[in-house]
């Protein structure tokens, strides 16, 4: 169960605008606010690397730029 408080409507509106989602209906923004609590809780359970320089995985060579 979520332990955080639900973000305010203004916080969700600003978040949506930052991410290009400002065309969403108020119902969608309300649902987004409800889900934000659970996403934040899940994010806190993910393991973090011990140091900033330690990457969780190496990028495959196919993604390297050749130009």
Residues 8-56: pLDDT tens digits?
A: 999 999 999 999 998 999 999 999 999 999 998 988 888 877 776 766 6
In 23-36, which positions are buried (b, 16+ CB within 10 angstroms) versus exposed (e)?
A: eeeeeebeebbeeb
pLDDT of residue 58: 64
pTM of the model: 0.61
pLDDT of residue 18: 95
Give domain limits for the chain.
9-63
**DSSP structural state of residue 57:** S
Q: What's 17-31 look like in SS3?
A: HHCCCCCCCHHHHHH
What confidence tier does 1 reach under pLDDT thresholds 50, 70, 90?
A: very low
């Amino acid at each position: 169960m979520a332990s955080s408080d639900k973000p305010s409507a203004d916080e969700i509106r600003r978040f949506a605008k930052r991410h290009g989602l400002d065309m969403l209906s108020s119902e969608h923004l309300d649902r987004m606010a409800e889900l934000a609590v659970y996403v934040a809780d899940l994010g806190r359970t993910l393991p973090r690397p011990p140091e900033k320089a330690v990457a969780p995985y190496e990028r495959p060579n196919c993604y390297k730029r050749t130009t």
